[in-house]
């Protein structure tokens, strides 16, 4: 599980990159409740409320079969105490053939002309290989990865929004999540 504020922001930029989101981040999260009534795809914040998702899993699986890892622990330098080794132990397997790579993959690259991707999706043109290749080349060729930082005010609002949800998650999984309050 990733810090829900960071996960929400990352989700938005991923959808923006794909041409599935055209609103500004602030506007998208402000309108989320109304948007997901029509299309659950636009649930950037809602998908970051982990306790609700875990409760759905608990309808089918006992807590003892679940193992929770924080993204912040996952990206720490690998050593014998790394959370992945704890996961291997939980699964009853070995890390003998495991090779850790700290290389960051799947970095978000923002499109030059996001409206072209958005319209391409809306009209179904993105499903045509030639059109898709043109749109991808137009938008991403020679682009550097990264996206804008979230405003301090928006970050503060989202921290406040997720605070109670994070407390419910802490109680549900018996895990300290205070790192997300920093």
CATH number of the domain to which 97 belongs: 3.40.50.300
In a domain, 43, yes or no: yes
Residue 52 CA to residue 168 CA, distance in Å, equals 9
Strands (E) across 58-177 are located at none
In a domain, 131, yes or no: no
pLDDT at 7: 96
Q: Which long-range contacts (CB under 8 A, 24 or more apart) does 148-152 make?
A: 150/5, 150/9, 150/25, 151/26
Q: Classify residue 181 by burial, with Cβ atoms within 10 Å: 0-12, 13-18, 19+.
A: exposed
Q: What is the pLDDT along the chain (182 residues), one digit of tens a residue?
A: 999 999 999 999 999 998 889 999 999 999 998 988 887 777 899 999 999 999 999 999 999 999 999 999 999 999 989 999 999 999 999 998 888 888 888 788 889 999 999 999 889 988 999 999 999 999 999 888 888 899 999 999 999 999 999 999 999 999 999 999 88
pLDDT at 146: 85
In a domain, 161, yes or no: yes
In a domain, 118, yes or no: no
In a domain, 128, yes or no: no
Report the SS3 class of residue 109.
strand
In a domain, 115, yes or no: no
pLDDT at 147: 86
Q: What range does the domain containing 151 cover? A: 4-109+144-181
């Amino acid at each position: 599980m990733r810090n829900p504020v960071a996960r929400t922001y990352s989700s938005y930029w991923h959808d923006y990159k794909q041409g599935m989101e055209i609103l500004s981040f602030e506007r998208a999260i402000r309108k989320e409740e109304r948007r997901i009534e029509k299309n659950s795809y636009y649930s950037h914040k809602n998908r970051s409320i982990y306790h609700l998702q875990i409760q759905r899993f608990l309808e089918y699986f006992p807590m003892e079969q679940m193992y929770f890892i924080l993204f912040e622990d996952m990206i720490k330098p690998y050593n014998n105490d790394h959370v992945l080794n704890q996961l291997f132990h939980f699964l009853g397997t070995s890390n003998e053939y495991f090779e850790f790579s700290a290389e960051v993959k799947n970095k978000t690259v923002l499109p030059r002309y996001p409206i072209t991707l958005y319209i391409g999706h809306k009209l179904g043109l993105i499903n045509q290989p030639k059109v898709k290749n043109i749109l991808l080349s137009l938008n991403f060729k020679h682009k550097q990865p990264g996206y804008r930082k979230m405003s301090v005010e928006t970050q503060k609002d989202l921290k406040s929004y997720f605070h109670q949800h994070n407390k419910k998650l802490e109680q549900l999984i018996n895990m300290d999540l205070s790192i997300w309050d920093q």
